[in-house]
Amino acid sequence: MIDNDKPRDEAVEKELAGVPEELLDRDEGGEPGLEEALGALRADLEAAQQDMLYAKAEVQNVRRRMEKDVQDARAYAATGFARDILSVADNLTRAIEAIPAELHEDPRLKALVTGIEATQREMEKVFAQHGISRIASVGLPLDPNQHQAMLEVPTAEAEPGTVVQEMQSGWMIRDRLLRPAMVGVAKKPD
């Protein structure tokens, strides 16, 4: 028991200053119960440690999200440009398809045809280097995640729901859809 005539220890008073009065169990002399005060301080310490662990975990989560965002930004930075350049690739394909087969061997146009074909191959090579790839469609079942059905074609030659015609090629950039393929889908004939 503490003598009431002695001044209280200043360090104990400072420690007990933040503890609510109802938690301080006073003994017969009015002195706080040190065990109860110590228990309250331990509980506060545990709560503070728990809060610190939660804060550390949150910081790690934010750091991981930021790293993933940076990786995605690097991997998909060319998405807007790639979408814009796809129309150029489409026009090159149309130009090659528009040239009749007999003109491919005409000596006056052979160099032009070869140049357009070489340009198309180079563009596809650059696309591949940046993770941009053409979506396969003709002969495959319609995949609404990659194909956009534009029309139904009545035919007995293919199973209903199978892509039988491609109006515009579809493209992926890594694992994301860049542009869906616009396709015609088989249906049962009437």
Separation of alpha carbons 158 and 156, rounded Å = 6
- Torsion from C-alpha of 149, 154, 156, 161, nearest 10 degrees: 20
Q: How far apart are CA 53 and CA 60, in angstroms?
A: 11
Number of domain units in the chain = 2
Contact between 187 and 160 (Cβ < 8 Å):
yes
The pTM score is 0.63
Confirm whether 4 is domain-assigned: no
Do 82 and 53 fall within a single domain? no
* DSSP assignment letter at 32: B
pLDDT of residue 35: 85
Domain final residue pick, 72, 99, 116: 72
* Angle, in degrees to the nearest 10, between helices 79-98 and 110-129: 150
**pLDDT computed for residue 122 by the predictor:** 95
User: Is the distance from CB of 92 to CB of 120 less than 8 angstroms?
Assistant: yes
The rounded average pLDDT for each run of 10 residues, N- to C-terminus, in the chain (190 residues) is: 50 64 54 79 93 96 95 84 91 89 85 90 93 93 94 91 94 93 92
> Are both 149 and 106 inside the same structural domain?
yes
